[in-house]
Chains A and B, each alone.
Chain A
Amino acid sequence: MSTFVYMTRCDGCGHCVDICPSDIMHIDETIRRAKNIEPNFCWECYSCVKACPNHAIDVRGYADFAPMGHSVRVRREEEKGTISWKIKFRNGTEKDFVSPITTKPWGKFIPKLSEADKPNQGEINSETLYSEPKSLNTKKDLPTINKNSFKKGVYY
């Protein structure tokens, strides 16, 4: 659904305002804490949830299952370089995941496409994307799958 802010946890640091790709996290004029000014436009990217140093932002679930106790929460530990997730299902199942932080610093590593060579028709028709396979750091061609190994009924 959309993000919302636990007001007692928020200290008005502005990280969510800064990072929101939809520009809908803003500062409340009465209490100077963050708020989602347009919940309809929130696409649950979780950027603000991860950026919040005080775990003050959560994502509201859909009304039909939110009251049944599900929860998706995240802890970002920048000193370890980790993002941890805890997914709590309605039936009580809990799953924990840990992923490395792969975010790059602001404004760095932006591909300078206008300075790159124009792709030829062969590259346009190819399945590889811009700068692949070099950018994948595999130092070899991409692996291929023998199409005969696909199950019957799947055609590419």
Chain B
Amino acid sequence: MITVNPFSQLAGTVAPILMQVFVIIMIALVIISTLLDIVHKKNVKYFFENAKKAKKSAKKNLSTKEKTSVVLKTIASDIATTSELGAGKRRLAHLLGMYGTILFWAGSVVMIFCYASPSSETPILWPIIWHVGAIMTVVGGSWFWFFLRVDVYSEAFPWYRIIQADLFVLALIACAFFGLIWSFLQSLSLENRWDDTLFLVLFIISNLALFGGVYWSKFAHMFYKPGAAIQKNLAEADGSRDNLPPPADAPEKFGLGIKREEPKHY
């Protein structure tokens, strides 16, 4: 199953061009919904106004080289390894879900656009990337949803309470989960048996919920967060620091140095 391209098998019943049009519509939905979200929340306007304000209180002017270095460091640390989540379970779950999703989506696009016809031979790497990505997404997403959600972890709400903020993570888990089951059923060559078709329909519906629900879900946070991290690190580098005090110039272990405990004291 893991080495078989499920889309080339599907091409027997659904024309590859239809699959490609579906992917393009999903990408268009993400772009349009994110733009609508930006207009509605005015967050990008706020972001640039804030950056202008920060520039006024900057202690030094950063050269292009310095700025590039800050941006590269941010990409390597804050974005690629989500360092703001600290060392712990939340970061691990997030990294699993993030890289799983990237692999899953990259695998989907390549297999649908390059190897979707029944006659084409898919290099073994792409189906493996797609399946491993889907498994990582399910594991990371479920770990977060069942055990690490802040409203369950810190507010003591029951794990089965579903709120609007769950739309993104649940749709993402559903996409990867139904995709895996559908791929497994495809590999059994069931000749479009009812369960094969059912999981294909569920896979399509979960994709529609994920990409069609961008305006109402947390999907767009993956575009905003990197921007905010870059702005934060640039503000640290130019000395404006968003009005924060500089790092303390104090003797080692000035105070108790108490570490934050897990926020579970409800």
Q: Which B residues are in CB contact (< 8 Å) with A105?
A: 258, 261
Write the chain B residue with the least CB distance to A98. B248
- Provide the bound-state CA to CA distance between A7 and B46, in Å: 12
Interface residues of A in 21-55 (CB under 8 A from B): 26-32, 51, 53-55
Contact of A101 among B85, B164, B228, B258 (CB under 8 A): B258
Q: Which B residues are in CB contact (< 8 Å) with A96?
A: 245-246
Stretch of A80-88, A122-130, A147-155 on the interface side:
A80-88
Contact of A11 among B85, B252, B253 (CB under 8 A): B85
- Provide the bound-state CA to CA distance between A104 and B261, in Å: 11
0 or 1 for each of A1-22: is its CB under 8 Å from B? (1 = yes): 0000001110111110111000
Structural contact, B243 and A29, CB atoms closer than 8 A: no
Most buried by B among A9, A71, A88: A9
0 or 1 for each of B115-156: is its CB under 8 Å from A? (1 = yes): 000000000000000000000000000000000011101110
- Provide the bound-state CA to CA distance between A26 and B243, in Å: 25
Chain A: how many interface residues by the 8 Å CB criterion? 48
Q: Which A residues are in CB contact (< 8 Å) with B165?
A: 28-32
Most buried by A among B155, B164, B248, B256: B248
A78 at the interface (CB under 8 A from B): yes
Structural contact, B246 and A84, CB atoms closer than 8 A: yes
Q: Which B residues are in CB contact (< 8 Å) with A88?
A: 243
Residue numbers of A with Cβ under 8 A of B are: 7-9, 11-15, 17-19, 26-32, 51, 53-55, 71, 73-75, 77-86, 88, 96-106
Structural contact, A103 and B256, CB atoms closer than 8 A: yes
Structural contact, B154 and A17, CB atoms closer than 8 A: yes
Q: Contacts A11-B84, A80-B252 known; A27 to B258 CB distance under 8 Å?
A: no
Distance in Å: Cβ of A4 to nearest Cβ of chain B? 13
Distance in Å: Cβ of B68 to nearest Cβ of chain A? 22
Structural contact, B245 and A85, CB atoms closer than 8 A: yes
Structural contact, B232 and A82, CB atoms closer than 8 A: no
- Provide the bound-state CA to CA distance between A106 and B266, in Å: 12
- Provide the bound-state CA to CA distance between A86 and B240, in Å: 12
Contact of A8 among B154, B224, B253, B261 (CB under 8 A): B224
Q: Which B residues are in CB contact (< 8 Å) with A102?
A: 255-256
